[in-house]
Amino acid sequence: MKRVLIIGATSGIAMACARVWAGQGASFFLVARSAEKLEALASDLRVRGACAVRLRQMDANDTAAHPGMVEAVVQALGAIDIALIAHGTLPAQSACEADPLLALGELTTNATSVIALLIALANQFESQRHGAIAVITSVAGDRGRPSNYLYGSAKAAVSVFCEGLRARLFKSDVSLIDIRPGFVATPMTEGLALPTRLVAQPETVARRIVAGIERKADVLYAPAFWALIMLIIRNIPRSIFKRMNL
């Protein structure tokens, strides 16, 4: 029986992953800002086969609350087999360019708070010497594109942090998976003009994430074709890239 912690549990991708694990009889500790959404998700997971579901309302930006949350999870579950960090926002680039305070707030949500959680979780996983930490970043972190470089820079910061932390945790038999989704049909992307053929359903992405965690992947593009797309984008010469409208 897997013991699963999900932070940002009511996000589209996180809920899809939780439903897969519920079908495997997992026990959950779910964390999110909305108590109402947490209750609805918990009811859904119980119907799908979850062994137990515990809830905690928390704003991930409240970094002072992170250690207490991790302690509560350990008390409730005994240990953590899988931790999935899935919270985040998708800010408008133009709004961040116009308002430095908004930009810093988005960096806090998408980078600083995630790194703070990783530090708290890494210490727990290192002491228990087993398990997997999975973090949802984004393909946007692979290169700074003019359409979303604020969001991309936040995700890039998390990915670089993960690279160093992964090497540290490897010595304790703990895996750290950097999950880089492309376009996914979730409330976060609703209303955006996205290329239809590149938009994946959360269920498709979730199955790939669950399988990637099982095989202890280091970096996981979801769907897989984004690995090739981003390989091409990363290798466009800067002299050409700066003239492109991506």
By the 8 A CB rule, do 7 and 31 touch? yes
By the 8 A CB rule, do 28 and 6 touch? yes
Q: What is the CA radius of gyration of the chain?
A: 18
Task: Give the predicted TM-score (pTM) of the model.
Answer: 0.95
By the 8 A CB rule, do 42 and 66 touch? no
Q: Is 151 a catalytic residue?
A: yes
CATH 2.60.40.10 fits 3-241, yes or no: no
Domain ranges of the chain: 3-241
Residue-wise pLDDT for 98-132, tens only, equals 999 999 999 999 999 999 999 999 999 999 999 99
Three-state DSSP at 5 gives: strand
CA distance linking residue 124 with residue 113, whole number of Å: 17
List the pLDDT tens digit at each of the 246 positions of the chain. Answer: 899 999 999 999 999 999 999 999 999 999 999 999 999 999 999 999 999 999 999 999 999 999 999 999 999 999 999 999 999 999 999 999 999 999 999 999 999 999 999 999 999 999 999 999 999 999 999 999 999 999 999 999 999 999 999 999 999 999 999 999 999 998 888 777 788 889 999 999 999 999 999 999 999 999 999 999 999 999 999 999 999 988
Which listed residue (151, 183, 221, 226) is catalytic? 151
